Amino acid sequence: MLPSDLSTYGGAAKDLLTDLQSRNERMFNMTFLVLHTAETRQKLEIAVSQAASVAQTYNCLLTRLDFQQEDGLMSSLPLGLNRIKIERSLTTSALAVFVPFVTQEVFMGGDAMYYGLNALSNNMILLDRKQSRCPNGLVFGTPGSGKSMSCKREITFIMLMTQDNVIICDPEDEYSPLVKRLGGQVIRLSPSSTDYVNPLDINLNYS
């Protein structure tokens, strides 16, 4: 019986070979450096400790370059030099995560709403659609995937966190309980209802 670590490494090696042979992946050697700057040595130590803690949550180890500070600085600058001979092999898809032009982040402030996680970088997506050039939105998904739940969550956020008005056209009468819960008004339009739309009704402030 093979030791468990050999079985694990063997499976990882087979997956890597499959990626290189069948999934159009390529192998690259890369050096990942993190440059810390601070006004004082105390702030620098705190920043280094915080970065190490974040890396540890993802099972990564950041090692300080003792006696290699100058080489690390020169390697971090955009000069095309690498004086740190510590490399790791990564495939094309894994390496693409480190390229900021490939992974586009959406992180706004103010009344931004949480829409999920970035599939590549695993960072939060915080978006205020009113600040976007095109604030329109479409929700796509298979039946039962949570489209209505996503819309209701966004409506609830808007009503609780902003001063915006929400108008819902609901032929299926699916949003009535939510509207009543949020203190809204349900208007029923049908041939037999008492409510109707007058197309000739114009507000005095209409322009």
Give 155-171 pLDDT, tens digit per residue. Answer: 999 999 888 899 999 99
The confidence band for 3, taking pLDDT boundaries of 50, 70 and 90, is low
Burial class of residue 75, CB neighbours in 10 A (0-12, 13-18, 19+)? buried
pLDDT at 111: 81
Integer Cα distance of 141 and 154 in angstroms: 16
User: What is the bridge-based pairing of β-strands 88-91 and 27-30?
Assistant: antiparallel
Sketch the domain layout of the chain as residue ranges: 4-98
What's the chain's average pLDDT?
86
Q: Band of the pLDDT at 40, cuts 50, 70, 90?
A: very high
Give bridge partners of residue 91 from the DSSP assignment: 27
The residues, any chain, with a CB within 8 Å of residue 76's CB and separated by 6 or more, are 33, 35
